[in-house]
Amino acid sequence: MYLEIKNIHKFFGTGENRTEVLKGINCNIEKGSICVLLGPSGSGKSTLLNIIGGIETAEEGSISINGDTIENMNEKQLSLYRRKHLGYVFQSYNLIPNLTVRENIEVGAYLSDNPLNVDDLMKTLGLYEHRNKIPNQLSGGQQQRTSIGRAIVKNPDLLLCDEPTGALDYKTSKEILKLIEDVNKKYGNTVVLVTHNDAIKNMADRVIKLRDGQIRHDIVNTEKTPAQELDW
C-alpha cells in the first residue's frame, strides 16, 4: 500500500467558529494509480490534499507514504519529503514571471535527485518550441503545461493536482488530463487529482467522493475511459 490515510480530522477556526472540515478520513491509495477526489465546494478536498502534501497539518490521524509517516517528521525532514517526493499542480500556475519556460521547469529539476530530462519533458508537454518564452508570452494552457512540467520534472512519487483544469477551456482541459495520464503511464507516479468535474472520474482507477468532510463513496473503477475520450 503506497499512501495510507488514517482517521484524518481537521478543524478550522476557534471558539464558536470552530468547524470540523474533515471528519475521520480513511483510505489507502495504491502505488501508480490515479485517484480522483470529487465533491461539492467546501467538502474538504483541497484541505485533504494539502494535508497529504504536508502543507497543512491534521489535528488527528496520520498520513504514511511507503511506510513513512508525515506526522513523525521534523521540519527539515518534511521539507525534504516535499522537495524530493511530491509534485504539486495548482489551479493557479504560480510560475516565476521573469524566468523562461525552460528555467521554470529547471527550478523543479534542481530540487530532485533523479530529475527527468528537461528537453524530453518539454517535447512531451508540447512546450519545446516555446522554451525561451516567459509566462506572459504564453496561453493559459501553455502556462498550465509549464507548471505541470515543473512538478513532473522532479519525477515525484506522488503527484498532487488541485483543480488542474479549473481555469482552462474544454479542449485544453482534455489535453492537460491526457498529459497527466501519459506521465502516470510513462513514469508510474501515483496521482491524486481534486476536481469538481464529475466526468473526470472516468479516467481514474479510484474515485473518492467527499461530502461535508466525510467519504461518501469510494469506488474502484475497472473500466477507465482515456482522458481524450472524456465528455462533459
Q: How far does Cα 202 stand from its chain's mean position?
A: 17
Q: Which is nearer to ligand ATP, 47 or 143 (CB)?
A: 47
The alpha-helical segments, DSSP class H, found in the chain are 45-52, 75-85, 101-110, 118-124, 140-152, 170-187
Amino acid at position 219, single letter: I
211 binds ligand ATP (CB under 6 A): no
Total residues contacting ligand ATP by CB under 6 A comes to 12
Applying CB under 6 A, the span of 43-51, 106-114, 134-142, 167-175 interacting with ligand ATP comes to: 43-51
Q: Which is nearer to ligand ATP, 9 or 224 (CB)?
A: 9
Q: How far is the CB of 15 from ligand ATP (least distance, A)?
A: 13
Contacts of residue 60, Cβ cutoff 8 Å, sequence gap at least 6 = 7, 8, 9
Residue recorded with cell 479542449: 171
Q: Considering only residues 34, 38, 43, 147, which one is a binding residue for ligand ATP as defined by CB under 6 A?
A: 43
Among 7, 26, 42, 216, binds ligand ATP (CB under 6 A): 42
The residue type of 105 is: I
Of these, 6, 9, 11, 21, which contacts ligand ATP (CB under 6 A)?
21
Residues 6+ apart with CB under 8 A from 117: none
